[in-house]
């Protein structure tokens, strides 16, 4: 079975609470998004969808 995760978004409203900052729910938090994607990548997911391919690439490249 393959596991594909979707959809990663950089706005605080869509980030898990551990990855948000205090700028409000509609604010972008790029560092939090990268950290969240990396956390999922550590679990050996098979694929993912993201609203921001550049941030996803940054998370993958480390």
Helices (H), 1-62: 30-41, 53-61
Q: How confident is the model at residue 3 (pLDDT cuts 50, 70, 90)?
A: very high
Flag whether the pTM goes above 0.85.
Answer: yes
Range 43-58 average pLDDT: 98
For residue 28, the enclosing domain spans: 4-61
Helix axis angle for 30-41 and 53-61, nearest 10°, is 50
Count of domains observed in the chain: 1
Is residue 26 left, alpha or beta, with left meaning phi > 0 and alpha meaning psi from -120 to 50? alpha
Q: What confidence score (pLDDT) does residue 27 get?
A: 98
Q: Which among 7, 59, 12, 14 has a CA at the least distance from the CA of 38?
A: 59
From residue 8, how far is each of 22, 25, 27, 43 by CA, in Å?
A: 19, 15, 15, 15
């Amino acid at each position: 079975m393959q596991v594909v995760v979707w959809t990663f978004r950089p706005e605080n409203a869509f980030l898990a609470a551990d990855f948000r900052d205090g700028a409000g729910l509609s604010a972008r938090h790029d560092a939090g998004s990268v950290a969240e994607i990396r956390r999922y990548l550590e679990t050996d997911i098979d694929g993912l969808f993201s609203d921001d391919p550049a941030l996803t690439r940054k998370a993958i490249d480390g």
